[in-house]
Amino acid sequence: MSEPTTDRTEATPGAEPDFLTVRGLHAGYGQARVLQGLDFRVARGEVCAILGPNGAGKTTTLRALCGMVRGRGSVTLNGTELLGRSPEQTARIGVAHVPEGRGTFNDLTVEENLRVGAHLRTGPRRRGRAERAAVAADLERIHDYFPRLRQRSRQAAGSLSGGEQQMLAIGRALMLRPSLLLLDEPSLGLAPLVTRELFEIIRAVNEEEGTTVVVVEQNAQLALGIAHRAHVLEAGRLVLSGPAAQIREDGQVAEVYLGVSVRSRKAG
């Protein structure tokens, strides 16, 4: 497995710069206003990392994008406004959100979890042979990314390890064939080795499927390793945006805003 720190900035597929456009996004919970007006754009096929300390509003940003929390401002995906829609509606538009803490269906088997992900395409009105074949092909594709899921196909999701559950959650999200994949702290609670494997897979998915990814991470170095662009969030505002490589190289900035010494970690 290669070191996930290659410079991907030049590889940015910038043909359509406005795939996901966030303008003046405010969001919060009740009285607590978490996001104080975010503006950023993600190009189609790009991996965008949102970094920042605890409580900066990273998770809230993702939740506002998928409709789990209400937001003000404007969020458009390929020209379609996302704000004001429920999670089930944004999922139907092509937004797949993998929540923090994974959110697998623990009573269901691994394969059933994946099939739930594909249910939008196998609903009562679409049960043709072609659809079944497509779902089978998708299962195969997910299994290729996550060989461990193939082995555990008939096991209950609740019996998987934390890393496997995270893989399953991402696999299920991919079964939606999303155009936008939102990942909330995929490394949370995982062993470093498993985390690296996971990020390599995320990178592969992005490269092979062209899925646009917005990933929220505490582990800045890992996220910057697979991202094209990165935004640093602090107290509900963007304090730094730029190509991932630039932010990674700017060790001083990273140290100030991320509370980690990116350079020394990289060297170590």
Partner 1 sequence: MNAVTDFLRQVVEGLGSGAVYASLALALVLIHRFTGIVNLAQGELAMLSTYVAWQLVASGMPFWLALPVTLVVSFAGGMLVERIVIRPVQGAPELTVVIVTVGLFIFVNAMAGLIWSFTVKDFPQPFPDGGIEMAGVRVDWSTLGIIGVVAVVMGLLYLLFQHTSVGLVMRAVACNPSSARLSGIRVGRVLMLGWGLAATVGALSGVLVAPVLFLEPNMMGGVLIYAFAAATLGGFDSPVGAVVGGLFVGVAETLTGAYVDVIGADLKVGVPLVIILAVLLVRPQGLFGRAAVERA
104 in contact with partner 1 (CB under 8 A): yes
Nearest to 178 by CA among 13, 23, 66, 72: 66
Task: Report the C-alpha gap between 86 and 96 in whole angstroms.
Answer: 13
Among 33, 105, 241, 250, the residue binding partner 1 under the rule CB under 8 A is 105
Task: Report the C-alpha gap between 30 and 131 in whole angstroms.
Answer: 42
| 3-state SS, residue 177 | coil
**DSSP H stretches of helix in the chain:** 58-66, 87-93, 110-117, 119-122, 129-145, 147-151, 162-175, 192-209, 220-226, 244-249, 251-258, 262-267
Among 1, 88, 154, 267, the residue binding partner 1 under the rule CB under 8 A is 88
87 in contact with partner 1 (CB under 8 A): yes
123 in contact with partner 1 (CB under 8 A): yes
| 3-state SS, residue 199 | helix
Asked if 84 and 93 count as a contact pair (C-beta separation under 8 A), the reply is: no
103 in contact with partner 1 (CB under 8 A): yes
Shorter beta-carbon distance to partner 1: residue 23 or 92: 92
85 in contact with partner 1 (CB under 8 A): no
Shorter beta-carbon distance to partner 1: residue 205 or 220: 205
Among 35, 42, 47, 176, the residue binding partner 1 under the rule CB under 8 A is 176
The residues of the shown chain that bind partner 1, judged by CB under 8 A, are: 66, 68, 86-88, 91-92, 96-99, 103-108, 112, 115-117, 119-120, 122-124, 127, 158, 162, 169, 172-173, 176
